[in-house]
């Protein structure tokens, strides 16, 4: 069928066959499908949806639009983790070396920041010299040698996704669960993994604002993974407040190092351990949840996880000394403390993740557009957390930027990000498991 006939079928609410979706994806990559036609198809998909069979077929076609790695040099069961994005979410930086040190290889292809959410690649590139542009063969050799590698999407992996993602951003078709699923899974399954663990975030600072939307996305990805022969599990986690006490790039690497030294924030480690337990379970390592948790705590306490992080940095061209001396990381030209201005002591009731994330972008830590440059030293740290008591003049957070103009913009965006009063009862960040 002609491309316009396929568009018309989806526009009219009819399902597309796997062969038709394959032809569409191949045409996008070859250029036989024009960008206006691809944009029209994306809008038709958003308006009329895709069922699970269509979503799996689209994912399969995007996955096989380029090279699919086999990682033959890595004999053990390989598991990756993906997060749908949040504020202060440096879990991947802690989790990859932690799980690798526990005996499960972690090949990880990550993304950059866009909007108010941070990007793993930007955080890693805050480490002087760190390369995220390894070729596929380098990536495989590194996973075989040290158990983990963290890179960006290469030109040969899922090229259809790079084209379609750019169009989705430009045509307001990003927030569509089947398209999100196909984008994530086509990249992740191209890594050559055996299983995938998903962190689907919901709340104020997440793309999925409601728990029901997060559940729909999680169930879709788990089901499509199953149809494509790759077992997946998903944890739905809360993202109403920033994760940890830092949001940015170098500031999050500093917090990562603190975690790997055994001194990380409890909320960040709660999510890290929960996802790590799932990764070990997927690989058949450990007897039960308690045993897997003990294994992870053991390699953290012994220093093996920090050693693995140091080896990861060195293998990818970075300065491994930052693992022992975080002061080697970039420092901002201007720093400002934001203080509590109340007349009497108070308890922090909430910290708005969205406001903090957007503040970090204004400081220079993120992007409004994909082409924007990122300042590795910019960000927010020393964040107070809900439930903590503050006295007049206490520091609520610290802002880092290149100059005072950016500090002014970031502080203005914080606005009423900090709410005070009776805190809500403490609850787990892990809301639900779907597998």
d(CA 393, CA 377): 25
- List the one residue out of 125, 90, 132, 109 whose CA is nearest residue 275: 90
Q: Residue 20 is encoded by which pair of tokens?
A: 């038709």
Sheet strands (E) in 63-138: 79-83, 106-110
Catalytic option among 78, 116, 187, 400: 187
CA-derived radius of gyration, the chain: 22
196, 79 in Cβ contact below 8 A?
yes
d(CA 242, CA 86): 8
431, 237 in Cβ contact below 8 A?
yes
Q: Residue 161 is encoded by which pair of tokens?
A: 């996704």
Q: Would you give the DSSP letter of residue 208?
A: B
Q: Would you give the DSSP letter of residue 207?
A: S
Catalytic option among 161, 194, 240, 381: 161
Catalytic option among 10, 183, 188, 292: 183
- List the one residue out of 277, 214, 243, 106 whose CA is nearest residue 434: 214
Catalytic option among 22, 78, 81, 82: 82
87, 205 in Cβ contact below 8 A?
yes
**Catalytic: 345?**
no
**Catalytic: 113?**
no
**Catalytic: 168?**
yes
Catalytic option among 22, 116, 123, 168: 168
What 3-state class would DSSP assign to 381? Answer: strand
- List the one residue out of 236, 196, 245 whose CA is nearest residue 383: 245
**Catalytic: 82?**
yes
Taking the CA atoms of residue 384, residue 387, residue 260 and residue 134 in that order, the dihedral angle to the nearest 10 degrees is -60
**Catalytic: 400?**
no
Q: Residue 224 is encoded by which pair of tokens?
A: 């499509």
Q: Which residues are catalytic?
A: 82, 161, 168, 183, 187
């Amino acid at each position: 069928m002609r491309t316009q006939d396929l568009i018309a079928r989806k526009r009219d609410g009819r399902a597309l066959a796997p062969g038709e979706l394959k032809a569409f994806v191949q045409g996008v990559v070859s250029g036989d499908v024009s960008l206006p036609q691809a944009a029209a198809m994306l809008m038709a998909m958003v308006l009329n949806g895709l069922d699970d069979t269509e979503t799996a077929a689209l994912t399969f076609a995007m996955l096989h639009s380029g090279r699919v790695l086999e990682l033959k040099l890595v004999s053990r069961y390989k598991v990756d983790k993906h997060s749908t994005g949040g504020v202060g979410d440096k879990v991947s930086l802690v989790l990859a070396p932690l799980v690798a040190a526990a005996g499960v290889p972690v090949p990880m292809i990550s993304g950059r920041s866009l909007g108010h959410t941070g990007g793993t690649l930007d955080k890693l590139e805050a480490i002087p010299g760190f390369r995220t542009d390894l070729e596929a063969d380098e990536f495989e050799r590194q996973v075989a040698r040290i158990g983990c590698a963290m890179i960006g999407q290469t030109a040969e992996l899922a090229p259809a996704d790079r084209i379609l993602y750019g169009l989705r951003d430009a045509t307001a078709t990003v927030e569509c669960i089947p398209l999100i699923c196909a984008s994530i899974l086509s990249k992740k399954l191209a890594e050559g993994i055996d299983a995938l663990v998903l962190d689907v975030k919901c709340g104020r600072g997440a793309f999925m604002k409601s728990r029901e939307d997060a559940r729909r996305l999680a169930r879709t990805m788990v089901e499509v993974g199953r149809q494509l022969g790759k077992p997946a599990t998903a944890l739905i986690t809360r993202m109403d407040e920033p994760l940890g006490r830092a949001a940015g790039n170098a500031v999050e690497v500093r917090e990562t190092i603190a975690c790997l030294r055994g001194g990380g924030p409890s909320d960040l480690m709660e999510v890290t351990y929960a996802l790590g337990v799932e990764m070990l379970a997927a690989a058949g390592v450990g007897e039960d949840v308690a045993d897997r948790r003990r294994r992870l705590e053991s390699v953290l306490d012994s220093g093996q996880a920090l050693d693995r992080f140091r080896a990861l940095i060195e293998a990818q061209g970075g300065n491994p000394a930052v693992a022992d001396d975080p002061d080697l990381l970039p420092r901002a030209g201007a720093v400002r403390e934001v203080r509590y201005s109340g007349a009497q002591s108070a308890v922090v009731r909430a910290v708005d993740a969205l406001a903090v994330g957007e503040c970090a972008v204004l400081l220079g830590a993120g992007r409004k557009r994909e082409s924007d440059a990122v300042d590795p030293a910019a960000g927010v740290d020393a964040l107070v957390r809900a439930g903590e008591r503050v006295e007049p003049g206490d520091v609520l957070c610290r802002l880092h930027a290149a100059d005072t103009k950016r500090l002014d913009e970031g502080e203005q965006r914080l606005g009423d990000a900090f709410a005070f009063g009776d805190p809500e009862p403490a609850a787990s960040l892990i809301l639900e498991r779907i597998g």
